[in-house]
Chain A
Amino acid sequence: MARWGMAADLDRCNGCGACVVACHSENNISTVGDEQASRGRAKHWIRVERYWEGDFPDVRLKFRPVMCQQCDNAPCEPVCPTYASHHTEDGLNAQVYNRCIGTRYCANACPYNARFFDFFNPSWDKPLQLQLNPDVSLREVGVMEKCTFCVQRIRGAQLQARTEDRALRDGEIQPACVQGCAAKALVFGDLEDPESHVSRLARSPRGSKLLEDVGTQPAVTYLARATQV
């Protein structure tokens, strides 16, 4: 059984935000508009965080793309009263939308702020609905949603490999953010396979996990931006 993971090389990431829009496009994330965005209801399954260090003129800015960390020990799962938030065999923190009753305990428990609540039914001004991806279900009002590692692409590739009677190839599955990244900062793959690209990156001496000390055991490794001597 695979264990899906990601690596984000912060020495390659330049903060452009292509992953953010790629994710909206792939996962049918509705835009909420200015009014609702000002109330904190915008949904971005992946975001680019920024960390300012120092004062002018010795100032530095670091970017970090943050999505659901698909934790092995996920705080969002045990708090869910309906098992909508649960762990799959291949290590994803999955969300069953039609089980979710909107308690939002999971969002409270998540230390990464990676979960978003649907305050409304999604809507698209016609004909923007034509852009919708038929492989991804729409989320209705009262439901939590979050990054799925593009599970539709994972299952699609697995099906394809099965029909062709072969094993999945490393790099064959690319979530939308990984696919769109021009800098190739994001790498996705199977952490169980020690030879996969993502496994090799996860062992990098530059690697660390986000908020590692809270014990969530994330599946995303961040490779620190190198400093020039």
Chain B
Amino acid sequence: MDRRSFIKLTAITGTSATLASCGNPENQFIRFLPDEDIVPGVAVWKPGVCPLCAAGCGLTVRVMDADADVMRDGQWGIVRIAAAKKLEGAAGHPISQGGLCARGQAAIQVTYHPDRITQPLKRSGDRGSGQYEAISWDAAIAEIVQRLNALETAGTQRALALLSRGRTGHRAVLTDQFLSRFGARGAVTYQLFGDDVLRRANGLSFGREQLPTPDLANTRYLLSFGADFLGTWNSPVAQAGSFGHMRQGRPGIRGAFTQVESRMSQTGANADTWVPVNPGTEGVLALGLAHVIMAASLHPASAAGRAGAALDGWAGGLANSAPAEVERITGVAAARVERLAREFAETRPAVAVVAGPPLAHSNGLFTALAVNALNALVGSVEQPGGLFFTPQVNVAASSKAGGTAAASGASIEELAKGALGGDVPQVLLVDGANPVFTTPKAWRVRAALGKIPYIVSFSSFLDETSILSDLILPDHSFLEGWSEGAPESGSLSAVLSVAPAAMRPLYQTRATGDVLLEIGRQLQRPLNLPWQTFDEMLGATFAALPSATADVDAWTDAQAKGVWTGTVPGALVTGAAAAAPAAAVAYAEPVFDGDAGQFPLHFLPYPSSAFLDGSLAHLPWLQEMPDPLTSAMWSSWVEINPVTAEKLGVADGDVVEVASGQGALRSAAVLSPGIAPNVVAMPVGQGHQSFTRYASGRGENPVELIAPVTDSATGALAWAATRVKLSRVGPPDGRLILFAGGTREHLEEHR
């Protein structure tokens, strides 16, 4: 046998052995077929939209070839696919401007998460057991259609409900249209750290019921009441960029920054002046500044116009808000009130923002109105360096939705109360929300969901809410289908982010928008939604907008860039909210749950830098990212002032019990000088019972301590209005994991 025939023979036997050893020989060959239009080793960059919060940052997705175990044409096999490799902020995008936050960087792990739901699932065990069996898409959709037809036949269309995070944009309009055309009640939206109080206040003060865009890049004095605008609030990437410019982007000009809060946030750490204040009295401080400004005739009361009129006693110069009185209520020295007022009024331009804990009290609306009036008083609204409102595209109009908009839905609290009281929705669709994890125990949302006979989730993961569902119809990840964002804030001109899929779906998932449209077509009384597919709906909107580039239509241009920005045609602008204040609002003392004697400490749960409200706790990069203020990873903790800790006999790292009238939990103490002695704080995000291998059974969920106190005007949860007591349980037990700069000495100490 010569060398040539020997090699031939080996090749043939080798191949046949391989073929004989597996059931589907073609699987072995699949990988050699060109699956996607990609050149091995060559990276291409595609646009994307970050899905993790409502900011709507534009992405650039690096796509390269990779070998993946995927199903193609009904067969599993290792296939060379075009796979997303890295996410970066899109340079030309008006919100992200090339940057991206830590969470956005980690968003790629949503797509590649090992515990993603890969196909439609039907519950096979008890509710909450997490036992599911595979079901085909056709069978799953037929099942929902049958359920909805039954409602229609019985004339009980109102027994269909939908629960979402209240996203803006096309997805929200599509679900609204689906609900209203079916005859269901409006969507129930819920977010633990939602901004409904601020939106309402902006509607009353300025006629704009939306989040503001502070023009930080051009301001010279920034006064923030509790807003974590560099970390977790609103549009942090845009705000971090403009804040950097405010500090060092203008030769010879460095904007000053004062932060008012009771626990130093990541944002507060960057302030020149940090002003601690008694929880729930931030609005009194704002009015104190206004009082000084008016009393010194720096600006007349009338300058605040409608925003001032919304507050009791404004026209009379706020006689009750003299600095001495403000000091008594807020704990901020009268001299400091005077000084802050003068700085704010005399530095031009200046802007005040308010968000977060100050608005999470029973008097939240008052606080927001007070800060709004302060801005209006010094002329900082819609002026360079002041507060702006990003023009909004009316997506219902631009996408030619027609029909009638759905009535606004009940709150989650009302939904739960109804379900427990006999007004039980028969079918509930859950899109993105996890209220079982993020609502106070007293609302009994889990029990309420247990009463609902049929729950459908579009989730990609089994979390505390989706694990209660009877049917799971997993959505594509944001990289696998059309993604969009309609930023409410973050830019001075209107923005719509949009991007086609950056890669083909890894699994048997389907875009939720398309699934809803399909269900609408199959019903016995078809809903006649005006689009066949979700991208057709997107296309309708962009066709109605003026193109930013000559010779290219707006839709093509937006898909290539990942964004549309420009002037909104008059007919498509979201109208200003006309709601005028019913009656002037006065300061009311904040209501706290828990007797001050029994529960001496204020409890502040705050959105964690890594996980926000806990919806990102399943991403391992974020679990292992050291927290900016404590360097903690993979853990929960309680922040305590060292003086308080000493009184209670608590040392750094000790296990402590925190108890409110609602419940108790145990966690590790972190002694922090940046927190008032009468406040303890905990990051929200850990403590999941069910949320993938990385988050389940890890740490504690502070939401379980929150009492069901609400803002009296809007009904929004006052999540900072609970009192607690704290006691030492024992020495450090290893539950708190710190990075602490990686110093070996530190570790030796703790061995």
Residues of A within 8 A of B (CB): 9, 11-12, 14-18, 20-22, 24-26, 31-34, 37-40, 42, 44, 47-50, 52, 54-57, 59-63, 66, 113, 116, 125-134, 176, 179-185, 226-228
Contacts and interface: CB of A to CB of B under 8 A. Distances in A.
Closest 4 CB pairs of A and B: A182-B99, A228-B272, A183-B244, A61-B269
B609 interface: yes
**Range for the number of chain B residues in contact with chain A:** 35 or more
Contacts of B101: 16, 18, 182
A56 B248 contact: no
Pick from A15, A49, A62 the residue with the most CB of B within 10 Å: A15
Contacts of A184: 99, 241, 244
Contacts of B244: 9, 12, 14, 182-185
B698 A56 contact: no
7 contacts: A17-B102, A18-B100, A55-B642, A61-B629, A66-B741, A113-B742, A132-B85
B54 to A, nearest CB: 17
Interface in B302-341: none
A229 B677 CA distance: 28
A16 B230 contact: yes
A162 B306 CA distance: 63
A25 B744 contact: no
B256 A228 contact: yes
B624 A37 contact: yes
B48 to A, nearest CB: 14
Contacts of A54: 673
Contacts of A14: 230-231, 240, 243-244, 266-267, 269-270
Contact of B633 (A42, A57, A132): A42
Interface stretch (B108-116, B514-522, B578-586, B700-708): B108-116
B635 to A, nearest CB: 8
Given A44-B742, A50-B631, A61-B629, A56 B693 contact: no
Given A47-B742, A228-B273, 6 more contacts: A17-B102, A34-B623, A61-B264, A127-B68, A130-B66, A131-B86
Contacts of A181: 99
Interface of B: 41, 64, 66, 68-69, 83-89, 96-106, 108-109, 112-114, 230-231, 236-238, 240-241, 243-244, 247-248, 254, 256, 264, 266-267, 269-270, 272-274, 276, 506, 609-610, 620-626, 628-629, 631, 633-635, 641-643, 673-677, 693, 698, 734, 737, 739, 741-744, 747
A25 B86 contact: yes
A34 B676 CA distance: 30
A11 B629 CA distance: 17
Pick from B243, B635, B673 the residue with the most CB of A within 10 Å: B673
Given A61-B629, A228-B256, A25 B247 contact: no
B231 A59 contact: no
Given A15-B266, A18-B100, A127-B69, A113 B741 contact: yes
Pick from A21, A55, A181, A183 the residue with the most CB of B within 10 Å: A21
Contact of A47 (B109, B238, B741): B741
Contact of B41 (A50, A63, A134): A134
A179 B98 contact: yes
A57 B106 contact: no
Pick from A25, A47, A130, A133 the residue with the most CB of B within 10 Å: A130
Nearest to B241: A182
A16 to B, nearest CB: 6
A179 B98 CA distance: 7
Contacts of B236: 16, 182
A16 B106 contact: no
Nearest to A184: B244
Contacts of B238: 182
Contacts of B743: 113
A139 B673 CA distance: 39
Nearest to A201: B248
Given A185-B244, A226-B254, A228-B272, A25 B693 contact: no
A129 B66 CA distance: 9
Given A17-B609, A34-B634, A48 B628 contact: yes
A184 B628 CA distance: 18
Contacts of B642: 55
